Amino acid sequence: MSRALLLGLALAAALAAASCQNPVHENEVAALGNEAPGVPPGPTHRPGQPCLVCHGGEGPGKTQFALAGTVYQVPTATIGMNGVTVKTTDVNKNVATSTTNSVGNFYILASAYSPTYPVDVELDLGDLQNQMLTHIGRDGACASCHFDPPGPTTPGHVYLVADVSDLPDGGGP
């Protein structure tokens, strides 16, 4: 009888563990594909991808973000822009900021900011500013809405200015 009880408990534990998995989330993670060759996981990996798929609480990323994304110079750029301040303000006027890194990525840790949606976003680099015309209503991963190519379902990726000539030194080095 104890053998049957142990077998039953083991089966129940296995079923409980399996029910904790989320196949929709697992498919979202798998759809991101492999890491880029030579770019280890960390702050500069996966520019332009929806960061909160992995860093939104269900993993596999251990660090959890409240908001995260990639900022590009202009709408047609394929490389992110370094040094842009991303300022977010939630409906309760709580503010959080982050600065983009060498690939244009930024993130705000969930442990530091728990926004109440909707959230407004402003980009700043010196005298250049760009404010998002709408607000973030539900998801702190910019690339959930902002992806390429622009079209009926997306405005395209997040960018600082509309034309490269508006950048300091015309966007040059």
The answer as to whether 150 is a domain residue is: yes
From the CB of residue 86, how many other CB atoms can be counted at a distance below 10 Å? Answer: 22
Report pLDDT for 20: 57
The answer as to whether 25 is a domain residue is: no
- Tens of pLDDT along the chain (173 residues) come to 567 665 655 655 555 555 457 888 888 878 888 888 888 889 999 999 999 999 998 889 899 999 999 999 999 888 899 999 999 999 999 999 999 999 999 999 999 999 999 999 999 999 999 999 888 988 888 888 888 888 999 889 999 998 888 887 766 65
From the CB of residue 145, how many other CB atoms can be counted at a distance below 10 Å? Answer: 17
- Check: pTM over 0.85? Answer yes or no: no
**What is the rounded (10 degree) CA torsion for 97, 98, 99, 101?**
-170
The answer as to whether 19 is a domain residue is: no
The answer as to whether 3 is a domain residue is: no
The answer as to whether 166 is a domain residue is: yes
Range(s) of the domain holding residue 94: 39-171
Domains contained in the chain, number: 1
Q: Max alpha carbon distance in the chain (Å)?
A: 80
The answer as to whether 34 is a domain residue is: no
Which CATH number belongs to the domain containing residue 61 in this structure? 2.60.40.10
Contact 87, 124 (CB under 8 A): yes
Angle at 81 between CA 80 and CA 84, to 5 degrees: 135
